[in-house]
Amino acid sequence: MQLNPHIVGQVARERQRDMLAEAQRQREARQFMAQARESRRAERGQRRMRHARRRMRHALRQALRPSSGLER
C-alpha cells in the first residue's frame, strides 16, 4: 500500500514529537526523584543533629549536676 509522502512525513514528525515528549517526562521524573532523595537526606541529617544536641545537653546536665554526697 502506497501512502502519500506528505502523510508519511507528518506521521514521522508526530511520532518524533511523541518520543521527545516522553523523554522530557522521564527526565522530569528523574529530576523530581533526585530532588526528593536529596531532601530526605538533608532532613535525616537535621534530625541527627537535633538528636546529637539533645544528647549533649543531657550529658552536660548530668556532668554539671551537684553531687548529693551519696555516691562513692
The verdict on residue 72 lying in a domain is: no
Q: What is the pLDDT of residues 21-71, one digit of tens each?
A: 999 999 999 999 999 999 988 898 888 999 999 999 999 998 888 766 555
Distance from chain centroid for Cα 3: 49
Domain count for the chain, please give it. 1
The verdict on residue 36 lying in a domain is: yes
> Which pLDDT value is given to residue 2?
83
pLDDT grade for 12, boundaries at 50, 70 and 90: very high
The verdict on residue 53 lying in a domain is: yes
The verdict on residue 14 lying in a domain is: yes
Q: What is each CA distance from 25 to 10, 37, 42, in whole angstroms?
A: 22, 18, 26
Q: Which helix (H) or strand (E) holds 43?
A: helix 5-64
